Amino acid sequence: MTTALKPLVIGIGNLQRGDDSAGYRIAAALQDELAVPCRVIASHQLMPEFAEPIATASRVLFIDSTIDPERCSRWSSPQLEPLGCLPLTKTSLSHQGTPQDLLALAEALYSSRPPAWQLLIPSLHWEHGMELSPLTSTAAAMAVPLVRAWGSGHA
């Protein structure tokens, strides 16, 4: 009997760097829910080891924070963005890789590249500390139901 592929959510961020922790926090909140219909990974950074769970997923969602002033100034609600295909590069094999690098690595190692999206949470403060700024806190709270719906196939 084969196991049906499940969606995969990967949330990344540093819990000690304020708003940078948004992706990690969203993923951790979903890990605590028993009814989430997808696999969830909360991590401090993207790692090459994620290539295997990516390759065995039906689709993948990467959640991270962004400090891009353009994105932060025009943010109104969480938006899922499809990730394009990029070729495998040397950075794909390091801990400095991008979501596209991990997708290319999964394809190179496992001949599987599931469709993927990213959800970037606006962030203003990456100083040391555990607190989220009001903008990031609001955005993260709004993102949780969107990610839940995506995991269920409704977004």
Count how many domains the chain has: 1
Residue 63 DSSP code: E
- Looking up tokens 């989430």, which residue turns up? 36
CA 44 to CA 42: how far, in whole Å?
7
1 located within any domain: no
Residue 56 lies in a domain: yes
The enclosing H or E element of 22 equals: helix 22-31
Asked if residue 108 lies in contact with residue 52, where contact means CB atoms within 8 angstroms, the answer is no
Claim: this prediction has a pTM higher than 0.85: yes
What is the extent of the structural domain holding 63?
Answer: 6-151
Cβ atoms of residues 58 and 105 within 8 Å: no
In a domain, 96, yes or no: yes
pLDDT digits (tens, 9 = 90+) for 41-83: 999 999 999 999 999 999 999 999 988 877 777 778 888 888 8
**Residues facing residue 58 across a β-bridge:** none
Task: Indicate which CATH number applies to the domain containing 45.
Answer: 3.40.50.1450
